[in-house]
Protein backbone atom coordinates (compact mmCIF):
# COMPACT_ATOMS: atom_id res chain seq x y z
CA UNK A 1 0.00 0.00 0.00
CA UNK A 2 1.40 3.39 -0.99
CA UNK A 3 1.24 5.72 2.01
CA UNK A 4 3.07 8.55 0.30
CA UNK A 5 1.37 11.97 0.59
CA UNK A 6 2.36 15.62 0.27
CA UNK A 7 2.89 17.81 3.32
CA UNK A 8 -0.32 19.73 2.48
CA UNK A 9 -2.31 16.49 2.16
CA UNK A 10 -0.96 15.23 5.48
CA UNK A 11 -1.73 18.48 7.31
CA UNK A 12 -5.26 18.48 5.89
CA UNK A 13 -5.98 15.19 7.69
CA UNK A 14 -5.65 16.98 11.01
CA UNK A 15 -8.95 18.74 11.55
CA UNK A 16 -9.67 21.31 14.22
CA UNK A 17 -10.52 19.77 17.60
CA UNK A 18 -8.52 16.52 17.32
CA UNK A 19 -5.78 15.40 19.71
CA UNK A 20 -2.14 15.10 18.71
CA UNK A 21 1.15 13.78 20.05
CA UNK A 22 4.36 15.23 18.59
CA UNK A 23 7.57 13.19 18.39
CA UNK A 24 11.06 14.39 19.28
CA UNK A 25 12.53 15.93 22.42
CA UNK A 26 13.20 19.64 23.25
CA UNK A 27 15.47 20.71 20.36
CA UNK A 28 15.59 17.38 18.50
CA UNK A 29 13.70 15.63 15.68
CA UNK A 30 10.30 17.30 15.85
CA UNK A 31 8.13 17.26 12.68
CA UNK A 32 8.42 21.04 12.62
CA UNK A 33 7.67 21.50 8.89
CA UNK A 34 4.39 19.62 9.40
CA UNK A 35 3.59 21.83 12.38
CA UNK A 36 4.18 24.96 10.33
CA UNK A 37 1.84 23.55 7.65
CA UNK A 38 -0.86 22.87 10.28
CA UNK A 39 -0.54 26.50 11.42
CA UNK A 40 -0.75 27.74 7.79
CA UNK A 41 -4.07 25.91 7.43
CA UNK A 42 -5.53 27.69 10.46
CA UNK A 43 -6.33 24.48 12.35
CA UNK A 44 -7.64 25.30 15.86
CA UNK A 45 -8.73 23.78 19.17
CA UNK A 46 -6.18 20.96 19.10
CA UNK A 47 -5.36 18.97 22.22
CA UNK A 48 -1.64 18.18 22.58
CA UNK A 49 -0.13 15.39 24.67
CA UNK A 50 3.61 15.75 25.19
CA UNK A 51 6.56 14.92 27.44
CA UNK A 52 9.46 17.35 26.86
CA UNK A 53 8.56 19.69 24.05
CA UNK A 54 10.44 22.60 22.58
CA UNK A 55 9.56 25.38 20.19
CA UNK A 56 7.51 22.87 18.13
CA UNK A 57 4.73 22.97 20.73
CA UNK A 58 5.46 26.59 21.59
CA UNK A 59 4.74 27.61 17.96
CA UNK A 60 1.33 25.92 18.13
CA UNK A 61 0.58 27.63 21.45
CA UNK A 62 1.58 31.05 20.12
CA UNK A 63 -0.38 30.58 16.89
CA UNK A 64 -3.52 29.88 18.94
CA UNK A 65 -3.84 26.36 17.51
CA UNK A 66 -4.27 24.61 20.86
CA UNK A 67 -7.11 24.26 23.32
CA UNK A 68 -5.25 22.20 25.89
CA UNK A 69 -1.78 20.83 26.65
CA UNK A 70 -0.99 17.87 28.89
CA UNK A 71 2.78 17.81 29.22
CA UNK A 72 5.84 17.61 31.46
CA UNK A 73 8.10 20.35 30.11
CA UNK A 74 8.07 23.07 27.49
CA UNK A 75 11.45 24.73 26.86
CA UNK A 76 14.32 24.66 24.36
CA UNK A 77 17.27 23.91 26.61
CA UNK A 78 19.88 26.64 26.69
CA UNK A 79 18.07 28.62 23.97
CA UNK A 80 14.80 29.00 25.87
CA UNK A 81 14.96 28.06 29.57
CA UNK A 82 11.17 28.64 29.59
CA UNK A 83 9.28 28.39 26.29
CA UNK A 84 8.07 31.95 25.71
CA UNK A 85 4.50 31.38 24.44
CA UNK A 86 3.89 28.63 27.01
CA UNK A 87 4.82 31.12 29.72
CA UNK A 88 2.87 34.05 28.27
CA UNK A 89 -0.31 32.07 27.60
CA UNK A 90 -0.47 30.39 31.00
CA UNK A 91 0.28 33.59 32.90
CA UNK A 92 -2.59 35.24 30.99
CA UNK A 93 -4.99 32.32 31.55
CA UNK A 94 -5.21 31.66 27.80
CA UNK A 95 -4.33 27.95 27.74
CA UNK A 96 -5.78 24.91 29.48
CA UNK A 97 -2.96 22.78 30.83
CA UNK A 98 -2.22 19.82 33.07
CA UNK A 99 1.28 19.11 34.39
CA UNK A 100 2.78 15.63 34.63
CA UNK A 101 6.37 14.39 34.91
CA UNK A 102 8.23 12.85 31.96
CA UNK A 103 7.99 9.38 33.49
CA UNK A 104 4.26 9.85 34.05
CA UNK A 105 3.69 10.91 30.42
CA UNK A 106 5.88 7.98 29.36
CA UNK A 107 3.62 5.66 31.37
CA UNK A 108 0.49 7.29 29.90
CA UNK A 109 1.63 6.79 26.29
CA UNK A 110 2.89 3.29 27.09
CA UNK A 111 -0.46 2.32 28.65
CA UNK A 112 -2.21 3.62 25.54
CA UNK A 113 0.17 1.67 23.30
CA UNK A 114 -0.36 -1.51 25.35
CA UNK A 115 -4.15 -1.34 25.23
CA UNK A 116 -4.35 -0.73 28.99
CA UNK A 117 -6.48 1.96 30.68
CA UNK A 118 -3.67 3.00 33.06
CA UNK A 119 -0.24 2.05 34.35
CA UNK A 120 1.22 2.29 37.84
CA UNK A 121 4.37 4.32 38.46
CA UNK A 122 6.50 5.32 41.45
CA UNK A 123 6.96 8.80 40.01
CA UNK A 124 5.13 11.93 41.23
CA UNK A 125 4.95 10.63 44.82
CA UNK A 126 5.66 13.50 47.21
CA UNK A 127 5.21 16.04 44.40
CA UNK A 128 2.54 18.71 43.92
CA UNK A 129 2.03 17.05 40.54
CA UNK A 130 -0.22 14.74 42.58
CA UNK A 131 -1.73 17.42 44.82
CA UNK A 132 -2.51 20.28 42.43
CA UNK A 133 -4.57 20.14 39.26
CA UNK A 134 -4.53 22.54 36.34
CA UNK A 135 -8.00 21.42 35.28
CA UNK A 136 -10.88 21.56 37.75
CA UNK A 137 -12.66 18.33 38.73
CA UNK A 138 -15.98 19.62 37.38
CA UNK A 139 -14.45 20.19 33.96
CA UNK A 140 -12.91 16.70 33.98
CA UNK A 141 -16.33 15.18 34.57
CA UNK A 142 -17.91 17.23 31.77
CA UNK A 143 -15.27 16.95 29.01
CA UNK A 144 -15.06 13.53 27.31
CA UNK A 145 -11.54 14.29 26.04
CA UNK A 146 -10.27 14.36 29.64
CA UNK A 147 -9.46 11.36 31.81
CA UNK A 148 -11.79 11.24 34.81
CA UNK A 149 -8.84 11.76 37.18
CA UNK A 150 -5.46 13.38 36.63
CA UNK A 151 -3.84 10.54 38.63
CA UNK A 152 -4.74 8.35 41.61
CA UNK A 153 -2.72 6.96 44.50
CA UNK A 154 -3.35 3.29 45.23
CA UNK A 155 -1.87 0.93 47.77
CA UNK A 156 -0.14 -1.93 45.94
CA UNK A 157 -2.11 -5.13 46.66
CA UNK A 158 1.15 -7.16 46.82
CA UNK A 159 3.65 -4.94 48.64
CA UNK A 160 1.33 -2.43 50.36
CA UNK A 161 3.48 0.49 49.16
CA UNK A 162 2.04 3.57 47.51
CA UNK A 163 1.67 3.56 43.74
CA UNK A 164 0.53 6.29 41.38
CA UNK A 165 -1.91 5.28 38.64
CA UNK A 166 -1.83 7.45 35.53
CA UNK A 167 -4.50 7.28 32.81
CA UNK A 168 -3.64 6.08 29.28
CA UNK A 169 -3.63 8.49 26.37
CA UNK A 170 -4.70 7.48 22.88
CA UNK A 171 -4.21 10.55 20.65
CA UNK A 172 -6.07 10.83 17.35
CA UNK A 173 -2.77 11.60 15.57
CA UNK A 174 0.90 11.05 16.19
CA UNK A 175 3.21 13.33 14.19
CA UNK A 176 6.78 12.11 13.80
CA UNK A 177 9.90 13.10 11.93
CA UNK A 178 12.38 10.28 11.21
CA UNK A 179 15.58 9.85 9.21
CA UNK A 180 14.30 7.25 6.73
CA UNK A 181 10.97 5.82 5.67
CA UNK A 182 9.57 3.70 2.84
CA UNK A 183 6.33 4.11 0.89
CA UNK A 184 4.82 1.20 2.79
CA UNK A 185 5.25 2.98 6.16
CA UNK A 186 8.40 1.32 7.46
CA UNK A 187 10.32 3.86 9.58
CA UNK A 188 13.96 4.04 10.64
CA UNK A 189 15.02 6.18 13.59
CA UNK A 190 18.74 6.86 14.11
CA UNK A 191 20.01 8.00 17.51
CA UNK A 192 17.73 8.27 20.52
CA UNK A 193 14.15 7.14 20.02
CA UNK A 194 12.87 9.59 22.65
CA UNK A 195 9.27 8.37 23.17
CA UNK A 196 8.39 8.11 19.48
CA UNK A 197 7.68 4.37 19.49
CA UNK A 198 5.21 4.49 22.38
CA UNK A 199 3.63 7.72 21.08
CA UNK A 200 3.09 6.17 17.65
CA UNK A 201 1.65 2.93 18.97
CA UNK A 202 -0.76 4.76 21.31
CA UNK A 203 -2.19 6.85 18.46
CA UNK A 204 -4.99 6.09 16.02
CA UNK A 205 -3.26 7.61 12.98
CA UNK A 206 0.50 8.03 12.56
CA UNK A 207 1.88 10.61 10.13
CA UNK A 208 5.64 10.42 9.62
CA UNK A 209 7.69 12.98 7.76
CA UNK A 210 11.17 11.78 6.80
CA UNK A 211 14.51 13.15 5.68
CA UNK A 212 14.87 10.47 3.03
CA UNK A 213 12.47 8.15 1.23
CA UNK A 214 14.14 4.75 0.75
CA UNK A 215 13.26 1.33 -0.66
CA UNK A 216 11.41 -0.99 1.66
CA UNK A 217 14.07 -3.63 0.95
CA UNK A 218 16.82 -1.41 2.33
CA UNK A 219 15.04 -1.14 5.69
CA UNK A 220 14.15 -4.86 5.68
CA UNK A 221 17.83 -5.83 5.53
CA UNK A 222 18.18 -4.77 9.20
CA UNK A 223 14.75 -5.48 10.71
CA UNK A 224 16.14 -5.25 14.26
CA UNK A 225 16.58 -1.52 13.73
CA UNK A 226 12.91 -0.95 12.79
CA UNK A 227 10.97 -0.31 15.98
CA UNK A 228 7.51 0.62 14.66
CA UNK A 229 5.56 -1.94 12.62
CA UNK A 230 4.51 -0.54 9.21
CA UNK A 231 0.83 -1.42 9.77
CA UNK A 232 0.78 1.18 12.56
CA UNK A 233 1.94 3.95 10.19
CA UNK A 234 -0.61 5.54 7.87
CA UNK A 235 1.05 8.44 6.07
CA UNK A 236 4.63 9.05 4.91
CA UNK A 237 5.86 12.44 3.65
CA UNK A 238 9.43 13.01 2.47
CA UNK A 239 10.52 16.42 3.88
CA UNK A 240 14.29 16.99 3.76
CA UNK A 241 15.34 19.46 6.50
CA UNK A 242 11.83 18.89 7.84
CA UNK A 243 12.79 19.35 11.48
CA UNK A 244 14.64 22.67 11.16
CA UNK A 245 15.36 24.58 13.45
CA UNK A 246 15.55 21.36 15.47
CA UNK A 247 18.26 18.76 14.95
CA UNK A 248 18.12 15.29 13.36
CA UNK A 249 20.80 12.78 14.39
CA UNK A 250 23.08 11.82 11.49
CA UNK A 251 21.43 14.45 9.27
CA UNK A 252 21.85 17.93 10.73
CA UNK A 253 22.31 19.84 13.95
CA UNK A 254 19.89 22.15 15.69
CA UNK A 255 20.17 25.75 14.49
CA UNK A 256 21.43 27.81 17.45
CA UNK A 257 20.92 31.13 15.65
CA UNK A 258 17.36 30.39 14.66
CA UNK A 259 16.37 28.94 18.05
CA UNK A 260 17.75 32.05 19.77
CA UNK A 261 16.01 34.26 17.23
CA UNK A 262 12.71 32.47 17.89
CA UNK A 263 13.07 32.72 21.65
CA UNK A 264 13.80 36.44 21.47
CA UNK A 265 10.96 37.17 19.06
CA UNK A 266 8.35 35.10 20.91
CA UNK A 267 8.93 36.94 24.20
CA UNK A 268 6.24 39.40 23.12
CA UNK A 269 2.93 39.04 21.29
CA UNK A 270 4.08 41.46 18.58
CA UNK A 271 7.44 39.74 18.18
CA UNK A 272 5.75 36.37 17.84
CA UNK A 273 3.35 37.75 15.22
CA UNK A 274 6.33 39.05 13.22
CA UNK A 275 8.06 35.68 13.50
CA UNK A 276 4.91 33.89 12.35
CA UNK A 277 4.50 36.19 9.34
CA UNK A 278 8.16 35.93 8.37
CA UNK A 279 8.76 32.20 8.86
CA UNK A 280 5.43 30.35 9.04
CA UNK A 281 2.40 31.96 7.37
CA UNK A 282 4.47 34.14 5.03
CA UNK A 283 6.41 31.39 3.23
CA UNK A 284 3.94 29.48 1.04
CA UNK A 285 5.52 26.09 1.70
CA UNK A 286 8.53 24.28 3.18
CA UNK A 287 10.82 25.25 0.27
CA UNK A 288 9.97 28.92 0.80
CA UNK A 289 10.61 28.51 4.55
CA UNK A 290 14.07 27.09 3.88
CA UNK A 291 14.87 30.14 1.73
CA UNK A 292 13.55 32.45 4.47
CA UNK A 293 15.87 31.00 7.11
CA UNK A 294 18.94 31.48 4.95
CA UNK A 295 18.75 28.81 2.25
CA UNK A 296 21.43 26.27 1.48
CA UNK A 297 24.27 28.37 2.92
CA UNK A 298 22.68 28.25 6.38
CA UNK A 299 21.61 24.62 6.06
CA UNK A 300 25.04 23.40 4.97
CA UNK A 301 26.52 24.90 8.15
CA UNK A 302 24.24 22.58 10.13
CA UNK A 303 24.86 19.35 8.23
CA UNK A 304 26.06 16.46 10.39
CA UNK A 305 29.59 15.18 9.83
CA UNK A 306 29.95 11.47 9.11
CA UNK A 307 30.83 9.51 12.22
CA UNK A 308 29.57 12.19 14.60
CA UNK A 309 25.82 12.42 14.09
CA UNK A 310 26.06 16.21 14.49
CA UNK A 311 28.38 18.99 13.33
CA UNK A 312 31.30 19.26 15.78
CA UNK A 313 32.38 22.54 14.16
CA UNK A 314 28.99 24.25 14.59
CA UNK A 315 29.15 27.72 16.18
CA UNK A 316 26.78 27.15 19.08
CA UNK A 317 26.78 30.26 21.19
CA UNK A 318 23.65 31.53 19.46
CA UNK A 319 23.13 35.24 18.92
CA UNK B 1 47.08 12.39 39.66
CA UNK B 2 49.20 15.50 39.31
CA UNK B 3 50.45 17.33 42.33
CA UNK B 4 49.88 21.00 42.78
CA UNK B 5 51.15 23.14 45.62
CA UNK B 6 49.48 25.72 47.82
CA UNK B 7 51.20 28.50 45.91
CA UNK B 8 49.42 27.66 42.67
CA UNK B 9 46.14 27.44 44.59
CA UNK B 10 46.51 30.97 45.82
CA UNK B 11 47.28 32.42 42.43
CA UNK B 12 44.48 30.57 40.64
CA UNK B 13 41.37 32.56 39.91
CA UNK B 14 38.04 30.97 39.06
CA UNK B 15 34.44 32.01 38.46
CA UNK B 16 31.37 31.08 40.51
CA UNK B 17 30.17 28.79 37.72
CA UNK B 18 33.53 26.99 37.76
CA UNK B 19 33.41 26.70 41.55
CA UNK B 20 29.90 25.19 41.42
CA UNK B 21 30.75 22.78 38.61
CA UNK B 22 33.80 21.53 40.50
CA UNK B 23 31.95 21.14 43.82
CA UNK B 24 29.08 19.34 42.09
CA UNK B 25 31.50 17.05 40.23
CA UNK B 26 33.08 16.02 43.55
CA UNK B 27 29.69 14.65 44.63
CA UNK B 28 30.10 11.92 41.99
CA UNK B 29 32.05 8.83 43.00
CA UNK B 30 33.82 6.58 40.54
CA UNK B 31 31.73 3.78 39.01
CA UNK B 32 28.46 5.46 39.91
CA UNK B 33 25.52 5.87 37.54
CA UNK B 34 24.77 9.58 37.13
CA UNK B 35 21.50 11.00 35.82
CA UNK B 36 22.35 14.43 34.37
CA UNK B 37 20.12 17.30 33.30
CA UNK B 38 20.79 20.32 31.11
CA UNK B 39 23.37 22.95 32.06
CA UNK B 40 25.64 22.76 35.09
CA UNK B 41 24.84 19.09 35.79
CA UNK B 42 26.30 18.17 32.39
CA UNK B 43 29.43 20.21 33.19
CA UNK B 44 29.74 18.46 36.56
CA UNK B 45 29.26 14.96 35.19
CA UNK B 46 31.66 15.53 32.30
CA UNK B 47 34.25 16.98 34.68
CA UNK B 48 33.93 14.05 37.08
CA UNK B 49 34.38 11.65 34.18
CA UNK B 50 37.60 13.44 33.14
CA UNK B 51 39.08 13.71 36.64
CA UNK B 52 38.36 11.52 39.68
CA UNK B 53 35.54 9.33 38.33
CA UNK B 54 36.66 8.02 34.92
CA UNK B 55 34.38 4.99 35.24
CA UNK B 56 31.20 6.82 36.15
CA UNK B 57 28.31 6.23 33.78
CA UNK B 58 26.26 9.19 32.60
CA UNK B 59 22.67 8.63 31.48
CA UNK B 60 20.41 11.17 29.82
CA UNK B 61 16.64 10.87 30.02
CA UNK B 62 16.17 11.34 26.27
CA UNK B 63 18.05 8.08 25.67
CA UNK B 64 21.84 8.54 25.69
CA UNK B 65 23.50 5.88 27.88
CA UNK B 66 27.14 5.91 28.99
CA UNK B 67 28.63 8.36 26.48
CA UNK B 68 32.25 9.45 26.42
CA UNK B 69 31.36 13.10 25.95
CA UNK B 70 33.44 14.92 23.35
CA UNK B 71 31.38 18.09 22.98
CA UNK B 72 29.05 19.51 25.60
CA UNK B 73 25.39 18.73 24.98
CA UNK B 74 23.19 21.85 25.08
CA UNK B 75 20.16 19.80 26.13
CA UNK B 76 19.62 16.24 27.30
CA UNK B 77 18.28 15.30 23.85
CA UNK B 78 21.37 16.62 22.01
CA UNK B 79 23.11 14.22 19.60
CA UNK B 80 26.29 15.02 21.54
CA UNK B 81 24.97 12.78 24.34
CA UNK B 82 25.63 9.87 21.97
CA UNK B 83 29.40 10.41 21.46
CA UNK B 84 30.96 7.05 22.21
CA UNK B 85 27.73 6.00 23.93
CA UNK B 86 26.95 2.42 24.89
CA UNK B 87 23.31 2.79 23.86
CA UNK B 88 20.94 5.14 22.11
CA UNK B 89 17.71 4.29 23.90
CA UNK B 90 14.65 6.35 24.72
CA UNK B 91 12.54 7.66 27.57
CA UNK B 92 10.91 4.29 28.16
CA UNK B 93 14.19 2.48 28.84
CA UNK B 94 15.67 5.29 30.93
CA UNK B 95 12.66 5.91 33.15
CA UNK B 96 11.67 2.26 33.66
CA UNK B 97 14.77 0.06 33.55
CA UNK B 98 17.35 2.61 34.66
CA UNK B 99 15.60 5.02 37.05
CA UNK B 100 12.55 3.16 38.43
CA UNK B 101 14.59 -0.04 38.37
CA UNK B 102 16.80 1.55 41.04
CA UNK B 103 19.98 1.83 38.97
CA UNK B 104 20.68 5.55 39.38
CA UNK B 105 23.13 6.41 42.18
CA UNK B 106 23.05 10.16 41.88
CA UNK B 107 20.70 12.51 40.05
CA UNK B 108 21.32 16.21 39.45
CA UNK B 109 18.55 18.77 39.75
CA UNK B 110 18.08 22.51 39.59
CA UNK B 111 15.23 24.78 40.54
CA UNK B 112 13.93 28.33 40.46
CA UNK B 113 13.08 27.82 44.15
CA UNK B 114 14.74 25.57 46.74
CA UNK B 115 13.21 25.40 50.20
CA UNK B 116 14.35 24.41 53.69
CA UNK B 117 13.98 20.68 53.03
CA UNK B 118 15.41 20.73 49.52
CA UNK B 119 12.06 20.60 47.75
CA UNK B 120 12.31 22.18 44.30
CA UNK B 121 10.01 24.26 42.17
CA UNK B 122 10.36 24.27 38.38
CA UNK B 123 6.65 24.64 37.67
CA UNK B 124 5.12 27.95 38.76
CA UNK B 125 5.92 30.97 40.97
CA UNK B 126 3.21 32.74 42.95
CA UNK B 127 0.30 31.67 45.14
CA UNK B 128 -2.02 30.54 42.32
CA UNK B 129 -0.73 27.57 40.33
CA UNK B 130 -3.44 28.00 37.68
CA UNK B 131 -2.65 31.69 37.10
CA UNK B 132 0.98 31.95 38.19
CA UNK B 133 3.03 35.14 38.44
CA UNK B 134 5.74 33.29 36.50
CA UNK B 135 5.16 30.06 34.66
CA UNK B 136 8.27 27.86 34.49
CA UNK B 137 8.95 24.96 32.06
CA UNK B 138 7.58 22.17 34.27
CA UNK B 139 8.96 18.99 35.77
CA UNK B 140 10.43 17.26 32.77
CA UNK B 141 12.17 14.32 34.43
CA UNK B 142 12.98 16.25 37.62
CA UNK B 143 10.13 14.92 39.79
CA UNK B 144 11.05 11.42 38.66
CA UNK B 145 14.75 11.81 39.50
CA UNK B 146 13.89 13.42 42.86
CA UNK B 147 11.66 10.47 43.71
CA UNK B 148 13.77 7.59 42.45
CA UNK B 149 17.52 8.32 42.38
CA UNK B 150 19.45 6.88 45.35
CA UNK B 151 20.48 10.46 46.18
CA UNK B 152 20.24 13.82 44.51
CA UNK B 153 22.47 16.86 44.24
CA UNK B 154 20.80 20.22 43.65
CA UNK B 155 22.53 23.12 41.93
CA UNK B 156 21.01 26.55 42.55
CA UNK B 157 21.63 30.27 42.57
CA UNK B 158 21.69 31.36 46.22
CA UNK B 159 19.29 34.31 46.52
CA UNK B 160 16.74 35.01 49.25
CA UNK B 161 13.75 34.96 46.88
CA UNK B 162 14.92 31.59 45.52
CA UNK B 163 15.45 30.07 48.99
CA UNK B 164 12.06 30.40 50.75
CA UNK B 165 10.85 28.45 53.78
CA UNK B 166 8.51 26.58 51.44
CA UNK B 167 8.37 26.41 47.65
CA UNK B 168 5.24 27.79 45.97
CA UNK B 169 4.85 24.50 44.11
CA UNK B 170 6.74 21.35 44.99
CA UNK B 171 7.70 19.90 41.61
CA UNK B 172 10.49 17.66 42.91
CA UNK B 173 10.29 16.33 46.47
CA UNK B 174 13.33 16.62 48.70
CA UNK B 175 12.96 15.82 52.40
CA UNK B 176 9.38 17.21 52.06
CA UNK B 177 8.72 18.45 55.67
CA UNK B 178 11.77 16.87 57.28
CA UNK B 179 11.86 13.89 59.63
CA UNK B 180 10.29 10.81 58.06
CA UNK B 181 7.82 12.75 55.90
CA UNK B 182 9.55 11.62 52.71
CA UNK B 183 9.19 7.94 53.60
CA UNK B 184 5.55 8.51 54.59
CA UNK B 185 4.88 10.05 51.18
CA UNK B 186 5.80 6.69 49.69
CA UNK B 187 9.50 7.38 49.05
CA UNK B 188 11.49 5.17 51.44
CA UNK B 189 14.79 5.86 49.66
CA UNK B 190 16.60 8.77 47.98
CA UNK B 191 16.52 12.42 48.92
CA UNK B 192 18.88 15.39 48.54
CA UNK B 193 22.46 14.87 49.73
CA UNK B 194 23.68 18.37 48.94
CA UNK B 195 22.54 21.74 47.65
CA UNK B 196 25.46 23.29 45.76
CA UNK B 197 24.84 27.02 45.55
CA UNK B 198 26.62 30.12 44.34
CA UNK B 199 27.70 30.73 47.97
CA UNK B 200 28.29 27.33 49.55
CA UNK B 201 27.07 23.80 50.13
CA UNK B 202 24.03 22.87 52.24
CA UNK B 203 23.61 19.34 53.59
CA UNK B 204 21.05 17.62 55.84
CA UNK B 205 21.25 16.10 59.32
CA UNK B 206 20.51 12.41 59.54
CA UNK B 207 17.06 11.68 60.94
CA UNK B 208 15.69 15.20 61.29
CA UNK B 209 16.70 16.13 57.75
CA UNK B 210 17.20 19.69 58.93
CA UNK B 211 19.55 21.68 56.68
CA UNK B 212 22.99 22.90 57.72
CA UNK B 213 25.67 24.87 55.97
CA UNK B 214 28.49 22.43 55.32
CA UNK B 215 30.84 24.84 53.55
CA UNK B 216 31.16 28.39 52.29
CA UNK B 217 32.86 29.07 48.95
CA UNK B 218 36.01 31.21 48.95
CA UNK B 219 34.95 34.85 48.65
CA UNK B 220 31.53 34.27 50.22
CA UNK B 221 30.76 34.47 53.95
CA UNK B 222 28.39 32.96 56.50
CA UNK B 223 26.77 36.39 56.89
CA UNK B 224 26.11 36.54 53.15
CA UNK B 225 24.67 33.00 53.18
CA UNK B 226 22.37 33.89 56.09
CA UNK B 227 21.14 37.07 54.42
CA UNK B 228 20.41 35.22 51.17
CA UNK B 229 18.58 32.31 52.81
CA UNK B 230 14.86 32.55 53.60
CA UNK B 231 14.86 29.82 56.23
CA UNK B 232 16.72 29.03 59.40
CA UNK B 233 20.08 27.53 58.57
CA UNK B 234 22.50 26.02 61.08
CA UNK B 235 25.91 27.44 60.13
CA UNK B 236 27.94 26.19 63.12
CA UNK B 237 29.78 23.45 61.23
CA UNK B 238 30.59 25.40 58.09
CA UNK B 239 34.15 25.19 56.75
CA UNK B 240 35.61 26.83 53.66
CA UNK B 241 34.89 24.95 50.43
CA UNK B 242 38.07 23.44 49.01
CA UNK B 243 38.76 25.66 45.99
CA UNK B 244 39.02 24.17 42.50
CA UNK B 245 42.42 22.63 41.90
CA UNK B 246 44.55 23.47 38.89
CA UNK B 247 43.81 20.00 37.52
CA UNK B 248 40.06 20.47 37.88
CA UNK B 249 40.12 23.92 36.28
CA UNK B 250 42.29 22.77 33.42
CA UNK B 251 39.99 19.84 32.68
CA UNK B 252 36.92 22.05 32.91
CA UNK B 253 38.27 24.78 30.64
CA UNK B 254 40.29 22.81 28.12
CA UNK B 255 38.46 19.49 27.82
CA UNK B 256 34.92 19.80 29.17
CA UNK B 257 33.79 23.19 27.86
CA UNK B 258 36.40 24.70 25.52
CA UNK B 259 33.52 26.20 23.48
CA UNK B 260 32.41 28.14 26.62
CA UNK B 261 28.83 26.91 26.27
CA UNK B 262 28.13 27.06 29.99
CA UNK B 263 31.38 28.35 31.51
CA UNK B 264 31.73 31.95 32.39
| pLDDT tens string A82-101 | 999 999 999 999 999 999 99
Q: Does residue B1 have a pLDDT over 70?
A: no
Domain boundaries, chain A: 1-67+75-96+170-319
* Mutant choice from B80, B103, B144 vs A, greatest count of A C-beta within 10 A: B144
Domain boundaries, chain B: 6-256
Provide the mean pLDDT of chain B: 94
Q: How much of chain A exceeds pLDDT 90, in percent?
A: 97
Q: Collect all residues of chain B within an 8 Å Cβ-Cβ radius of residue A254.
A: 74, 78
Kindly determine whether residue A52 and residue B123, on different chains, have CB atoms separated by under 8 Å: no
Query: How high is the pLDDT of residue A254?
Result: 97
Q: State how far residue A79 is from chain B, nearest Cα, in angstroms.
A: 9
Write the CB contacts of A113 (distance below 8 Å, at least 6 apart in sequence): A197, A198, A199, A200, A201, A202
What is the rounded CA–CA span in Å between residue A168 and residue A173?
Answer: 15
Q: Does residue B231 have a pLDDT over 90?
A: yes
pTM: 0.96
Query: How high is the pLDDT of residue B233?
Result: 98
What number is the average pLDDT over the span A101-127?
Answer: 98
The pLDDT tens digits for A2-51 are: 999 999 999 999 999 999 999 999 999 999 999 999 999 999 999 999 99
Q: Collect all residues of chain B within an 8 Å Cβ-Cβ radius of residue A190.
A: 88
Query: How high is the pLDDT of residue B12?
Result: 74
Q: Does residue B114 have a pLDDT over 70?
A: yes
Q: Collect all residues of chain B within an 8 Å Cβ-Cβ radius of residue A228.
A: none
Kindly determine whether residue B74 and residue A193, on different chains, have CB atoms separated by under 8 Å: no
Closest by Cα among B100, B26, B37 to B64: B37
pLDDT confidence bin for B5, thresholds 50/70/90: very low
Q: Does residue A152 have a pLDDT over 90?
A: yes
User: Any chain B CB within 8 A of the CB of A74?
Assistant: yes
- Residues of B with catalytic annotation? 61
pLDDT confidence bin for B39, thresholds 50/70/90: confident
Q: Does residue A318 have a pLDDT over 70?
A: no
What number is the average pLDDT over the span B187-191?
Answer: 96
What is the rounded CA–CA span in Å between residue A118 and residue A110?
Answer: 9
Query: How high is the pLDDT of residue B204?
Result: 98
Query: How high is the pLDDT of residue A77?
Result: 82
Query: How high is the pLDDT of residue B3?
Result: 36
ipTM confidence score: 0.97
Query: Helices A55-62 and A256-265: crossing angle, nearest 10°?
Result: 30
Query: How high is the pLDDT of residue B38?
Result: 80
pLDDT confidence bin for B264, thresholds 50/70/90: confident
Instruction: Name the residue among A73, A192, A196 with its Cβ closest to that of B137.
Output: A73
The pLDDT tens digits for A190-228 are: 999 999 999 999 999 999 999 999 999 999 999 999 999
Q: Which residues share a beta bridge with B88?
A: B64
User: Any chain A CB within 8 A of the CB of B185?
Assistant: yes
What number is the average pLDDT over the span B59-83?
Answer: 95
DSSP letter assigned to residue B80: G
What number is the average pLDDT over the span B96-111?
Answer: 96
What is the rounded CA–CA span in Å between residue A275 and residue A257?
Answer: 14
The pLDDT tens digits for A278-292 are: 999 999 999 999 999
The fold of the A1-67+75-96+170-319 domain, in CATH, is Glutaconate Coenzyme A-transferase (3.40.1080)
Q: Collect all residues of chain B within an 8 Å Cβ-Cβ radius of residue A121.
A: 100
Q: Does residue B11 have a pLDDT over 80?
A: no
Query: How high is the pLDDT of residue B37?
Result: 84
Domain B6-256 CATH assignment equals 3.40.1080.10: yes
Q: Does residue B216 have a pLDDT over 80?
A: yes
Provide the mean pLDDT of chain A: 97
What number is the average pLDDT over the span B127-154?
Answer: 98
Amino acid sequence: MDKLRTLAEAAALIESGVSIAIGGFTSQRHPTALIREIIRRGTRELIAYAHSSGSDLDLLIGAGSLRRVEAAYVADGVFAPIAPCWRRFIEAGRLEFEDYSNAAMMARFTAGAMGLPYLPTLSMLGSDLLEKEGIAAGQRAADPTLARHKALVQICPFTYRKLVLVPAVNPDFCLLHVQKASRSGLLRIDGQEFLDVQMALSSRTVIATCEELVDDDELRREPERNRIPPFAVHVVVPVPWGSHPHGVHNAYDYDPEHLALYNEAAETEAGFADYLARYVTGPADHAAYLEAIGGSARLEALRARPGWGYNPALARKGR
Amino acid sequence: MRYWGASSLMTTTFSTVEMMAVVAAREIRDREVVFAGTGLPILAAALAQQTHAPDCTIVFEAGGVAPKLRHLPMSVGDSRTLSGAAQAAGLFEIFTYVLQGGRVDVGFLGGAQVDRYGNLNTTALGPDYRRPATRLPGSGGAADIAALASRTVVIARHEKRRFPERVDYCTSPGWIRGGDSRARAGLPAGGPAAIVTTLGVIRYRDGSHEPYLASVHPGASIEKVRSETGFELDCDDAVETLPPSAVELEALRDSVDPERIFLR
